[in-house]
Amino acid sequence: MSASKISPLSTLSAPLRLALFDARVTAPLLVALLYYPEKLRELLPERVHPLITSRAVIRTLSILLGLSILRGVNGKLSQWSANNWKKDAKFVKSQELILISGGTSGIGKLMAEDFARRGVKVVILDLNPPKAALPSGIHFYQCDVTSSERIAATAAQIRREHGHPTVLINNAGIGTGLPILDSTEQIIQKTFEVNTISHFWMVREFLPAMIKRNHGHVVTIASMASFMCASNIVDYGCTKASALAFHEGLHQELRARYNAPNVRTTVVNPTWIRTPLIEPLTSHPKFTDKVLEPEDVSTAVVDQVLSGRGGQLVLPTSMSLLSGIRGWPTWLSIGLRNKVSDVAKGLDGIDVEAAKRDDRDPERWANFRKQT
């Protein structure tokens, strides 16, 4: 497994960020400055002694501690509200069945393998068979998730052979990076069918059993594009904004309509993920955004499911503030979109066939061409 590329600056600044923004560090430090200054003078070099009694230092640490505590309280409140003020659901590996759409490649494949390694049975749906033999505990079913009829037939077979899935991960997704006028009607329609509408068909088929037991988990793989749409990804961004709305509405219906508060819902909003499609963008000299490795996303999702906890995963967490961009001042949000769109010009020159060849799930386009 490849690891994320971490900049030297990020590595060197990690201790400082920990000291400034973690209450576990700022609280003891503040106590030491207030109540044990003489002890600190014995331990620290003489040149830093003036800082021990500096009101500015103490005031700054007090502010940072307060902000850290507020952030922690806010996080806990968000966690509890996302789980309907219930404790984490009990996840018994031997009793769970994970269903992942788009599971023979990319992030879906990584998630399936990770779950299987941890002792959980997995079912994967995909148009394309796996390229290699599946590890023990993973079962493949060929299915077009844009067809409600095919989903129903496949679901009946899964239930006969394995029982009812307890976790549904709507992971199947496509994208081309093509501007509106350079794309085609078929590509735009297919992008919506796979990235948004298939979520409805999958949930309508597999959610009733979860509601009946008041136990389960639905994971929606969305994107940072759910919050902010830029050039070259308009169709993709629209589908991911829809996926976010789907997650929010599903959570409300489970609570208010179906009285199933223990059926968890999670939405995942990752930033750029390293794929051949965005290579022209990430190699652009002005591109400075964080790029995730596929393993970053798959591991976060698996850990979330195993925790028995629902919520929202913005990846990396350092970009969580972007989830509220639509509430920012107009000039600021437009300025950020302008910046991303200007860099997205690095995608210029990608034609339809190149996009089909280099999409993050490239083998899926073979089936796409047959259907369109």
Q: Which residues are catalytic?
A: 236, 240
Place of tokens 């990690």: 14
Q: Exposure string (b/e) for 23-45, b if CB count within 10 Å is 16 or more? A: bebbeebbeebeeeeeebeeeee
Both tokens of residue 361?
A: 């799930």
Beta bridge partners of 101: 125
Look at residues 156, 153, 175, 275 and name the one whose alpha carbon lies nearest to residue 222.
Answer: 175
β-pairing verdict for 167-170 and 97-101: parallel
Contact between residue 97 and residue 164 where contact means Cβ atoms under 8 Å apart: yes
Residue 196 · residue 243 · CB < 8 Å? yes
Closest CA to 67 of 33, 31, 10, 20: 20
The CA dihedral of 93, 96, 102, 108, to the nearest 10 degrees, is -20
Burial degree of 107 (CB within 10 A; 0-12, 13-18, 19+):
buried
Contact criterion met (CB below 8 Å) for 152 and 205 = yes
